[in-house]
Each structure stands twice: as structure tokens, then as C-alpha cells.
Chain A
């Protein structure tokens, strides 16, 4: 029976939840990287053995990307900084927000989304990364403004059948796409309303996109959680249309697509742009099975009173297994899990530091 690993990046280090009994029980291990903020975690299963990545930042000693080839038992960093801005940019790496494997047929490619907003690409399995110049030099970039978390590139989606097609998202610049492996980029925010500007316009860029997820079956279908709206694209991000509102509560950070079932995605809405906690003290995951035309609340096992929780953009994930495992971590230090596609949930860990990122996959 394979092991399931849930990597939990927190404000105080990296924890791992491990199950070797078919996801019936999970043991909590850690922290590794104690004292560091772990905003990016990644499980790369493309090679003969899983390679894990963690992007962390120490308040004193700065940011670093580390990898592990022994399932997280030990972590190492390269002697030379794996991710560093070139001298001529005048920029310095502040935080690593995203570490994403490249396409299935390019096993040495890894992408990193960072703050200040930039995309880096590795062609040697994450040992060294190079700045994707075309995005850094995009004429829009000087006009990008930071969201509350900083000017961060937090989402990297690689097209499953054509890895030269890339989609990234920046808060608060919006979605950008490349069809040539990153050699050129164009803003792709058509239809996304910016309610934090007068008259709620739909500018070419400047949207505060919080997260984007790709449908499991139709790779042109995308789900997007905006600052205060939820959208779907049926043309790979070329245009966006609003999904059915979830009771008027359309603020939130994460969006997760079911790993194998099409038209199925999950949201975890939060109350308003200021409060940013689960509405009415109830923790509800919402699921659509018709590509956002309707939503159903999932509450079994989730606290339904006095639960004022916050789940950040990378704090919700799936393990890609069948049946789908879903996991989310809160800023109050709980990790909830479901191994039946969201029908029921349970607490897998509690009393952890604030959870910043969660990634899960079967390993071994």
C-alpha cells in the first residue's frame, strides 16, 4: 500500500502528515526548517522517486529553496543560490510563493513563482533557476501593484498536453499567458471585473487574482478565485465569465479542481475583504459538479459554529488520488482532510503554527 504525504508549510516551519494505511490515519511529523515561513511546497512525482521542494524564508537569513530526495527526512540546498535575480534587474528575492513541476515529458523542468513578481525556470530538476526575462521585461510590469500579501507570482499552470503553454497569476496584476514556453506573454483577464476601482471596470490587467485551477478533463477549462468574484474560462484563459455566486460570498483565496472528475471544483469562501474568515462562524467547503453553474455545501466533519477560520491561497489542495483526497490548512493551525472527494472531513492535525501552504500526493 502506497504512502500518502501531505506537506504542510507553516509560518514556523514545515510539517508532514503521513499515512501508510490507505489514508485512514495520518501521523504528524516535524517541524523541519523550524522558524522559517514555508510559503511554497511541492511534490514532484515525475522521476523514479519523488522529489520534494520547499521554498521558505527566514526573517533573519532570507529566502531559500531546498529539496529532499528521501521523502522529507533530510533537506538540502545548493551551494550557489538556486533562485537569485540577475544583477542588472536590481531586484532581490523576497519570498518563494510557488514551486511547480513542468510538463510530464520535461522531467527536469521546474518553475518558481516569486516575490517581487517574477517567474523562474529550472532545467536541471530545481538545482538552479533562471529568470524568465520576457515576463520580467513585460511593459505592464512597472504598473503592477502589490496585493495585501505583496507583489507575488503565486500561480503557475503548465498545460498538460503542451508544456509550452503556460499560465501565471500575480496579485494584483492578474493572469498572463504564454504559448511559446515563456518567450512572450500577454495579459488574459478579459471579463474579470475589478470592483476595487471606480465604476468596476474590466481593465487589461490589474486584477487581484487569488488562485487559478485547471479542470481535470478539459484542459481549456479554468476556475479562478478573484479578490471578490469567482470566474470560469472555457478557452484556456482567453476570456472569463462569472460563475454562480455562493450566496453572495465570493471572496476567498484558494480554488481547487477535482484531480480526475471534470466540471468539479472546490472553493472555500471567506467573509468580505476585511474580515477574511469563514462566514457566520461556519466552515464550509463548496463543490460544483457542473463547472460552476451551481454549488453545494460540504459540511460533514467541519465545524459549524464559532469557527472563524482563514485558509490562504495555497492552503487547499488535492492529492490526485482516486478517490480524491482533499486537504486544507488554516491560519489557526488545523489541517482538515477528506478522502471521499469532500463528502466528509476530519481533523488531521491541530495546534500547528499558521498554515501557509499544503501539497499532497501518494509517494512510494
Chain B
């Protein structure tokens, strides 16, 4: 199946300069499978989304369509052909910075 990844401007260098990347995945693949595919082709992009132990970074949101995967099954959220996946920085504030 075919899915598209929207790459935020801050990460485009790691994504080869592309704003949208396309991936062909097996049917039933999850967001985690997509991230593995990103790691194979664009490791400098993938490591900004999850750490070296495969854990999603806490201030990164991943949307499948309009749904945040945190309100679904997290990285186990199942993708469908034609899914549009967006990587977005969370609105984070209040820290001493």
C-alpha cells in the first residue's frame, strides 16, 4: 500500500529536502513500520522523530489524516493505503527556557 509522509520544514534537510515523501508498505503496516522505512532511507529524519530505542520523542506529534496517533494506538496505529501521515512539533511551553 502507498502512504505519504508530510515532512515539517525543520526536518526537511534530513528528508532529502522533500516536503512530502512516499512509501510503499505491506498491507496492515503501522506507524512504527513507516518509521522503520523512514529509518532505512532517511535516518537523519527518523532519529528526530524517535530516539535510538525506538521511543517517540515526547514533544513530537504524529497525525494520520486528522487524528493524533496518541489518541489512537500510538505507534501501533494501522495505516491504510492513501494514508497521509504528518509529523508536527507539539505546542510545548512553560519550561525555563
A interface residues, Cβ below 8 angstroms from B: 11-12, 37, 58-62, 77-81, 84-85, 87, 90-93
Docked-complex contact A61 and B53, CB < 8 angstroms: no
8 contacts between A and B (CB under 8 A): A37-B97, A59-B59, A60-B10, A60-B89, A61-B57, A78-B44, A79-B44, A80-B43
Across the interface, name the chain B residue whose C-beta is closest to A86: B52
Docked-complex contact B52 and A92, CB < 8 angstroms: yes
The smallest beta-carbon distance between A204 and chain B, in angstroms, is: 31
Docked-complex contact A90 and B44, CB < 8 angstroms: no
A93 to B55, CA, bound (A): 12
Docked-complex contact A60 and B97, CB < 8 angstroms: no
Contacts of B51 in A (CB 8 A): 62, 92-93
Across the interface, name the chain A residue whose C-beta is closest to B46: A81
Which among B43, B52, B97 has the greatest number of chain A C-beta atoms within 10 A? B52
Known contacts A59-B97, A79-B44, A87 near B53 by CB under 8 Å:
yes
Docked-complex contact A81 and B47, CB < 8 angstroms: yes
Known contacts A59-B95, A60-B90, A61-B10, A85 near B52 by CB under 8 Å:
yes
Partner of A90, one of B43, B48, B53: B53
Docked-complex contact A61 and B44, CB < 8 angstroms: no
Docked-complex contact A60 and B43, CB < 8 angstroms: no
> What 0/1 pattern do residues 36 to 66 of B give for CB contact below 8 A with A?
0000000110011101110101011000000
Contacts of B53 in A (CB 8 A): 85, 87, 90-92
Contacts of A11 in B (CB 8 A): 97
A58 to B97, CA, bound (A): 11
Contacts of A93 in B (CB 8 A): 51-52
Docked-complex contact A62 and B57, CB < 8 angstroms: yes
Docked-complex contact A60 and B52, CB < 8 angstroms: no
Chain B interface bracket (under 10, 10 to 19, 20 to 34, 35 or more): 10 to 19
Docked-complex contact B59 and A60, CB < 8 angstroms: yes
B78 adjacent to chain A (CB < 8 Å): no
Docked-complex contact A59 and B55, CB < 8 angstroms: no
Docked-complex contact B48 and A62, CB < 8 angstroms: yes
B92 adjacent to chain A (CB < 8 Å): yes
B11 adjacent to chain A (CB < 8 Å): yes
The smallest beta-carbon distance between B59 and chain A, in angstroms, is: 5
Across the interface, name the chain A residue whose C-beta is closest to B47: A81
Across the interface, name the chain A residue whose C-beta is closest to B60: A60
The smallest beta-carbon distance between A95 and chain B, in angstroms, is: 12
Contacts of A79 in B (CB 8 A): 43-44
The smallest beta-carbon distance between B43 and chain A, in angstroms, is: 5
Given contacts A60-B60, A91-B53, 19 further A-B contacts (CB under 8 A): A59-B59, A60-B57, A60-B59, A60-B89, A61-B10, A61-B11, A61-B57, A61-B60, A61-B89, A62-B48, A77-B44, A80-B43, A81-B47, A84-B52, A87-B52, A92-B51, A92-B52, A92-B53, A92-B55
Contacts of A90 in B (CB 8 A): 53
Known contacts A60-B57, A61-B48, A61-B60, A81 near B10 by CB under 8 Å:
no
The smallest beta-carbon distance between A276 and chain B, in angstroms, is: 13
Contacts of B43 in A (CB 8 A): 79-81
Contacts of A91 in B (CB 8 A): 53
A12 to B97, CA, bound (A): 8
Contacts of A61 in B (CB 8 A): 10-11, 48-49, 57, 60, 89
Contacts of B47 in A (CB 8 A): 62, 81, 84
A99 to B49, CA, bound (A): 24
Across the interface, name the chain A residue whose C-beta is closest to B93: A59
A6 to B23, CA, bound (A): 44
9 residue pairs, one from A and one from B, having the closest CB atoms: A92-B51, A61-B48, A84-B52, A60-B89, A60-B59, A92-B53, A81-B47, A79-B44, A11-B97
Which among B44, B60, B90 has the greatest number of chain A C-beta atoms within 10 A? B44
Contacts of B49 in A (CB 8 A): 61
